Structure 1
Amino acid sequence: MKRKPCSDSLAVKTSHVLPPDTNYHGTLFGGTLMAHIDDVAAIAAVRHCRKAVVTASTDSVDFLEPVKEGNSICVEAFVTYTRNTSMEVFVKAVSEDLLSGERKVCATAFLTFVAVDEDLRPIPVPEVYPVTESEKLLHEGAKERAELRRERRRNSKEFAARFGTSYPWNK
């Protein structure tokens, strides 16, 4: 498989924040922003490998600034690192006051996707390589983030085993 630069996977989506997208405070629902993030990140992952993908994990989504009704939200994503069958995708969301032009980074996140075949079995993906300084910074930190994900996944499996499928949990 041919290596690909990070920029080949860039995906961008801009949406107008309308009243149905907002909460009681007139700001974008966090879940709506998370749906935009997953959507654009998945597009970036598919662009990189040109295969079907599934979301394997979403690291913490850090909401840095509120996104107000009437603003636009622009979500950008690209693949920063690959392993055999998985891809780390960095996502940045930028809000814009369309009347003043003021722009703010309102959220960042890392997601991991796995390429799959028709039977949903993992399949290999091309290696990605960074070109810009920002891409290199993200690429260099990817192994450490991957180890943190593995640890978090181990903890999640322990919680799942302990609490099971029924309530109350303390039977």
Structure 2
Amino acid sequence: MAVQAAHVASKCAESQENGGHLDLSECQLCQVPDAVFHLMRNTPLTTCNLSGNLLSKIPPKFALKFCLITELNLSHNKMSKLPEELVDCMELERLDLSHNSFVNLPSVIFRLPKIKAIYANNNYIMDLEVEEVERAKTLEEFDIRENPLTPKSHSGLSQVTKLRVKITPREMEEWEDLTV
């Protein structure tokens, strides 16, 4: 535990020297340590990489303390929800939620004022409000590949034209094939 704490502290120190790019990937974190908020209190964070950990959530204060980040990588964790406070990340442009445990995408991600790219591939998302995706005015790229989307969601996303939607080609389920 002490080794992990020292590792996180050194990563925070690196971030202070490299212009606010915090990389806490592969640190075996189960939660975002309070020490991170304390150590980074005087450093404006621009990017944050929390990928490859054991996170199931990020605390609401994350968005309040790091509201100027432009990129947030939460991939390869165990996340299934996000705090509503994430909408306070006014500068967030790229959000990577890939390889997590999302069953539904939190609507807060589509309300981010400057969001350009959302990566939600390799989750467990079945149903999606296509209208929410279309209402995200600044969204340019939405990767939803390798999710068990319902036929309705898949069809709706296939018809979106105002942004680049990456979607896995739909294969008909055996029960849908009435010729058998």
Range of TM-score over shorter length = under 0.3
- TM-score with structure 2 setting the length: 0.24
Higher strand share: 1
- TM-score with structure 1 setting the length: 0.25
Higher relative contact order (CA 8 A, sep 6+): 1
